[in-house]
Structure 1
């Protein structure tokens, strides 16, 4: 079957990625040097998608201003989810655009074209829908799918904890128009309309849902440190390649250790060492003799002379001062009320954070946007946005 249209669900914030999502939604966070959504669109287009409908909500102006009316000559139509009430509610916002079997994907998870193609190829006219599924040893943090011997879906379970044999729900679906009508009519649970509950409603009504076994790349950036793994995976799989932009200024005594990406208008000073596994966004400056490893540095960031930055994720417009040190992970990181043990995160510095130099960041530090860290301070734990630390 040929599927030409895709609905991309990109209306959510990504609360577990705060404070990075304070000023933009999760799909616009960097996967290496470009937004997660761009990677998703690239793979959809590679799989032959000719029309995109994007459901936007939280931070929608940043999405719409970035992409406009088309991407790589593929037209984009926008549907607005004014209040974020779950994934099935987001899909309902796109109903007016549905006139044929449509691919439905999450805009905040990285997939490759093979998952999309395998799911389309498995779909047939006798099925209400098809779900891309991946063999995985542990699906407890995501969605699980029980697949029958005839390669149809028997059951979907969110965050399963029993010992049955589950496949990972890749969040890639082909749905017939009448199936989308049913899925979006699901009753709410805890105030949210779940796409998985909607798909389960199809099964309850006796509809056939195929399972498309696939093995392509699938990554979900759930927490800030996952952005480091995302970039590393993109490098290791060859999805992105080492590159230094022709407009970047790299001093002859600086060293770029591959893999690394240096975006346009970056400046790397004398004696600086950048890499491996470093992604520099647009207009980043690395000062003389600074060292940077295993880090995702977003646009307009300044890293001062003699700074050492390891296992670090920055937002936009961050300033790391002269001689400051991000020690690197692993570490125990608190997100909300939960402590995540042994995570590879030196520090997360959100948009427009500034340190005055000589600052030491203990492993696992999270600093909110527009915070100011005064000279010589040691920072650990979580720092709220717009806070001064002395």
Structure 2
């Protein structure tokens, strides 16, 4: 076999695997007592890849000392060490000299920290047969969120590629494994790394560039084993898979006794029957009589397990001592730990290197203990030492952080979250912070303020202020970021919103940046004069009102009367100044919120009760309209001049009709009739992903005149890239001062939109499979939209199949658009026949989604039925 060349990318730190990787590089963590990278070297040697270059960055000597020149494994290994991270493609470019490729030669790129038995010979044949310049190895996985997803045509040519998508963008469960076969010509497309050039990645930079240039890039879909060792859970899973013989060519070292029990010759067993396979025991291990080793346990070298100890589903690293009667279940233990008698380590806990656990101590589930810590005798450790951990994609939900106060969202949690946020900002930068009247938000804001100051970030504390005032302070250039804390939709719930320097919600990339610091549990600490300054601005509200007046041009609406109920929210604290500046006579129902009130009953009334009260008052005072503002100060529910409440879908249609905007942003799940209405008057609509965060960001990016949901949330980007009740009220006054709302709404009836919805249970582990099936079935149609989920255009109808980003649920939206001819003077209410057809279509496509879910359950029942992500 001709000698082949390969690059092993081995520079990763493995931050999500901490504390296991605090003091060793990720490629050197052992899988069944063999370093992960050693499994990859053996795989390469079996397939004729004997010339290897390893790219190193974090603790490179750990790898070079272990592998040397590679001769022990029958290969030749050279090394390319990066002074600073160059990115995946950048690191391979740096290794080009060591590769010494011929002009027409190809080479393999593979990660040193993933476990696989991929048939690399079949990959080479596929690459040559297709005439590919770059071939990715692809694999179907249950949860594709942390990978680059890929969709190919029938011949394997890559059509689309998206790195680390949201659930609505998961058009495939086929992911990029990070294994590539590349022609040398590809290296010429990678810029040579410079000290200040930043990182250059295959998935983010190189492959999109090649695709846009029409280069033949193919995907080789493998059914072979592949596991990304990115988390402690995946690490433990890979150990079990090796023990069970699921990884071809990978076998634990030592003698095989029985039932997949592997024991090194030099180890001593007090009672061989105490081992229940599958189990792997390393060199020079002593297991005393009376100890019990249960299935799926891996014990490293030079470990002592004393009498009466019990281990099950554990990974114990070299040099650890486990005392008498200690119990370890589903845990990972680092090197040279001392676990004393009767200590208990519970599910999913983990210890770093050189940790001492005292006699009778308890390590609770999910706790991480970092290296060189000592836990006292009989201590109960329920939080990580010294840092806390939370998995990626569990901090932010729907663009915000939400939790029950003092349950999910404790002051300690807020300190760590704010420390993570502050660490993503430049030292010395400024953050504007505000809150609503909820006592929990008050406490959480104090925790956030202290943590931000501790990272060297200045804080402009607006105290009680609705989110619009905070956003304006950021937008006015007073700070480079913002945060607002407020009561959530459920009792005792708190929401935390973060804003970028343009006052838009922070992007998903920024969220991941915060989460990376949270997971790494590393925060910038300021000292002395570098500690942030706490600022109490004097005119933040006045400046917000002045900007609102300039944006509103209120001359034509002065003297108008409105009725407003602010649902007890802090927006009411600004209302008197806003209405006075706009020259509006306002009847404010239910009084004003008290920023420091405790035990208020303002929030006790329902929305219907508040609207009913406003309905009675509006005709009495001759108001232009009435409204109920949500407690967050964003959505607005309207009562017309005749005292009749206006359905939210009809109100949005009225706004579009009167405003006649040139450019509108609407979410992908809204009725197509809005687009028809906008286009009827010469405007255009751009669709965004669902949810206000995505709508607001898209509106700001495109410079739209208006963006909206059909829940009373309106965004006027010229004023602010977010929904704000006062801008909405001002706009409504301007639009309907001469054409009363009651007159305009009469052109629409009592219903405008006719979208029907079905909600289906869909376990997390099935979502990617369902999205792949849908994308493969409908993605070939040029009219299919993959902005968010899969939106299929039918004759006189559309269907959107969208996975919920926060719950194990799939949504199916459908609208029948035929049978109506909207004109300049008539917009008839959807007929019952159209609604009936939409219901039938929704049921049909819901059945399709259900069938894909059930198919995934049949093919992988344990994962799907348990709903594991």
Stretches of structure 2 that go unaligned for 5 or more consecutive residues are 253-260, 388-869
- The TM-score, its normalising length taken from structure 1, stands at 0.89
**1:284-303 correspondence to structure 2 within 5 Å:** 284-303=303-322
- Offset of residue 219 of structure 1: 0.5
**1:1-390 correspondence to structure 2 within 5 Å:** 4-70=4-70, 71-98=72-99, 99=101, 100-114=105-119, 116-124=120-128, 126-161=131-166, 162-184=169-191, 191-196=198-203, 197-236=205-244, 237=246, 239-241=250-252, 242-252=261-271, 255-328=274-347, 345=348, 347-384=349-386
- Offset of residue 137 of structure 1: 4.2
In the alignment, the residues of structure 1 paired with residue 151 and residue 191 of structure 2 have an alpha-carbon distance, to the nearest angstrom, of 22
In the alignment, the residues of structure 2 paired with residue 24 and residue 52 of structure 1 have an alpha-carbon distance, to the nearest angstrom, of 21
Q: Write the deviation string for residues 194-219 of structure 1: whole angstroms up to 9, x where unpaired.
A: 11121222222221112112111110
Q: Contact conserved, 1:27 with 1:107, CA < 8 A, in 2? A: yes
Q: Write the deviation string for residues 121-152 of structure 1: whole angstroms up to 9, x where unpaired.
A: 21128321111112334422211112122211
Q: Contact conserved, 2:144 with 2:170, CA < 8 A, in 1? A: no
Q: Contact conserved, 1:54 with 1:77, CA < 8 A, in 2? A: yes
Stretches of structure 1 that go unaligned for 5 or more consecutive residues are 329-344, 386-390
Q: Contact conserved, 1:307 with 1:324, CA < 8 A, in 2? A: yes
Larger radius of gyration: 2
- 3-state secondary structure, aligned to 1:156: strand
Q: Contact conserved, 2:89 with 2:202, CA < 8 A, in 1? A: yes
Q: Contact conserved, 2:358 with 2:379, CA < 8 A, in 1? A: no
In the alignment, the residues of structure 2 paired with residue 56 and residue 186 of structure 1 have an alpha-carbon distance, to the nearest angstrom, of 15
In the alignment, the residues of structure 2 paired with residue 172 and residue 251 of structure 1 have an alpha-carbon distance, to the nearest angstrom, of 44
Q: Contact conserved, 2:27 with 2:112, CA < 8 A, in 1? A: yes
Q: Write the deviation string for residues 223-273 of structure 1: whole angstroms up to 9, x where unpaired.
A: 223221110111221533531111001113761110001111000011001
- Offset of residue 381 of structure 1: 1.9
Q: Contact conserved, 1:112 with 1:216, CA < 8 A, in 2? A: yes
In the alignment, the residues of structure 1 paired with residue 159 and residue 367 of structure 2 have an alpha-carbon distance, to the nearest angstrom, of 43
In the alignment, the residues of structure 1 paired with residue 3 and residue 140 of structure 2 have an alpha-carbon distance, to the nearest angstrom, of 24
In the alignment, the residues of structure 2 paired with residue 68 and residue 272 of structure 1 have an alpha-carbon distance, to the nearest angstrom, of 38
Change (3 A) 1:184 1:263: farther
Instruction: Answer 1 or 2: which has greater strand percent.
Output: 1
Change (3 A) 1:163 1:354: closer
Q: Contact conserved, 1:118 with 1:213, CA < 8 A, in 2? A: no
Change (3 A) 1:155 1:60: same
- 3-state secondary structure, aligned to 1:102: strand
Q: Contact conserved, 2:344 with 2:360, CA < 8 A, in 1? A: yes
- Offset of residue 108 of structure 1: 1.0
Q: Contact conserved, 1:133 with 1:211, CA < 8 A, in 2? A: yes
- 3-state secondary structure, aligned to 1:226: helix
In the alignment, the residues of structure 2 paired with residue 137 and residue 3 of structure 1 have an alpha-carbon distance, to the nearest angstrom, of 36
- 3-state secondary structure, aligned to 1:144: strand
- 3-state secondary structure, aligned to 1:243: strand
In the alignment, the residues of structure 1 paired with residue 141 and residue 74 of structure 2 have an alpha-carbon distance, to the nearest angstrom, of 35
In the alignment, the residues of structure 1 paired with residue 122 and residue 209 of structure 2 have an alpha-carbon distance, to the nearest angstrom, of 24
- Offset of residue 310 of structure 1: 0.6
Q: Contact conserved, 2:6 with 2:107, CA < 8 A, in 1? A: yes
Q: Write the deviation string for residues 330-371 of structure 1: whole angstroms up to 9, x where unpaired.
A: xxxxxxxxxxxxxxx1x1010000122111111111000000
In the alignment, the residues of structure 2 paired with residue 368 and residue 296 of structure 1 have an alpha-carbon distance, to the nearest angstrom, of 16
Q: Contact conserved, 2:90 with 2:193, CA < 8 A, in 1? A: no
- The TM-score, its normalising length taken from structure 2, stands at 0.41
Q: Say what the alpha-carbon RMSD is for the aligned residues.
A: 2.2
Q: Contact conserved, 1:316 with 1:352, CA < 8 A, in 2? A: yes
In the alignment, the residues of structure 2 paired with residue 219 and residue 2 of structure 1 have an alpha-carbon distance, to the nearest angstrom, of 28
- Offset of residue 107 of structure 1: 1.1
Q: Greater shift after overlay, 160-169 or 14-23?
A: 160-169
Select the structure with the greater relative contact order (CA < 8 A; seq sep ≥ 6): 1
Q: Write the deviation string for residues 302-332 of structure 1: whole angstroms up to 9, x where unpaired.
A: 100110111110111011101101132xxxx
When the two structures are aligned, how many residues end up with a matched partner? Answer: 367
In the alignment, the residues of structure 2 paired with residue 210 and residue 122 of structure 1 have an alpha-carbon distance, to the nearest angstrom, of 9
Q: Greater shift after overlay, 264-273 or 194-203?
A: 194-203
Partner of residue 674, structure 2: none
Superposition misfits of 4+ residues, deviation over 3 angstroms: 183-188
- 3-state secondary structure, aligned to 1:37: helix
- 3-state secondary structure, aligned to 2:232: coil
